[in-house]
Amino acid sequence: MDNIKTVGIVGTGIIATAMANLCTGHGYETIVFARSDASEERFRRDYQGHWDLFVKKELATPEQVEICKSYLKVVRTYEEMADADLIIESVLEDADTKHDVYHSIENNCPKVQVICSVSSAIIPDVLAETCDKYGDRIVVTHPFNPAHIVPYFELCGGQRTAEGVLDLAKAFLESMGRKPVVLKKPTPGFIGNRLQFALWRECLALVEEGICDPKDIDTALAYSFCARYTSIGIFEHFDFGGMDLNRRTCKNLFPIISDRKTVPEVIDRLIAEGKTGTKAGQGFYDWHGVDMEKYAERVNAPYWKFCHWDLPEKKLGE
Q: What is the pLDDT of residue 318?
A: 87
Q: What is the pLDDT of residue 293?
A: 93
Please provide the DSSP assignment of 230-269 as one string. TTS-HHHHHHHH-HHHHHHHHHHHTTTS----S--HHHHH
* Residue-wise pLDDT tens digits, 227-272: 999 999 999 999 999 999 999 999 999 999 999 999 999 999 999 9
Q: Are residues 245 and 198 in the same domain?
A: yes
DSSP 162: P
Q: What is the pLDDT of residue 216?
A: 98
Last residue of a domain, one of 250, 272, 294: 272
The residues facing 116 across adjacent strands are: 88, 139
Q: What is the pLDDT of residue 121?
A: 87
Amino acid at 114: V
Answer yes or no: is pLDDT of 174 > 90.
yes
Is 296 contained in some domain? no
pTM (two decimals): 0.94
Q: What is the CATH number of the domain that holds 50?
A: 3.40.50.720
Q: Are residues 154 and 178 in the same domain?
A: yes
CA distances from 216 to 156, 203, 225, 229 (A): 37, 10, 14, 19
* Residue-wise pLDDT tens digits, 187-226: 988 999 999 999 999 999 999 999 999 999 999 999 999 9
Q: Are residues 227 and 104 in the same domain?
A: no
Evaluate whether 312 touches 72 at the Cβ level (below 8 Å): no
| Overall average pLDDT of the 33-56 stretch | 98
Is 39 contained in some domain? yes
Q: What is the pLDDT of residue 188?
A: 87
Q: What is the CATH number of the domain that holds 222?
A: 1.10.1040.10
Q: Are residues 125 and 179 in the same domain?
A: yes
State how far the Cα of 40 lies from the Cα of 47, in Å rounded to an integer: 10
| Overall average pLDDT of the 303-317 stretch | 96
DSSP 161: P
Count of structural domains, the chain: 2
Is 55 contained in some domain? yes
| Overall average pLDDT of the 112-138 stretch | 95
Range of the domain at 257: 192-272
* Residue-wise pLDDT tens digits, 78-109: 999 999 999 999 999 999 999 999 999 999 99
27 φ/ψ angles, rounded to the nearest 5 degrees: 80, 20
Q: Are residues 80 and 100 in the same domain?
A: yes
Last residue of a domain, one of 188, 223, 249: 188
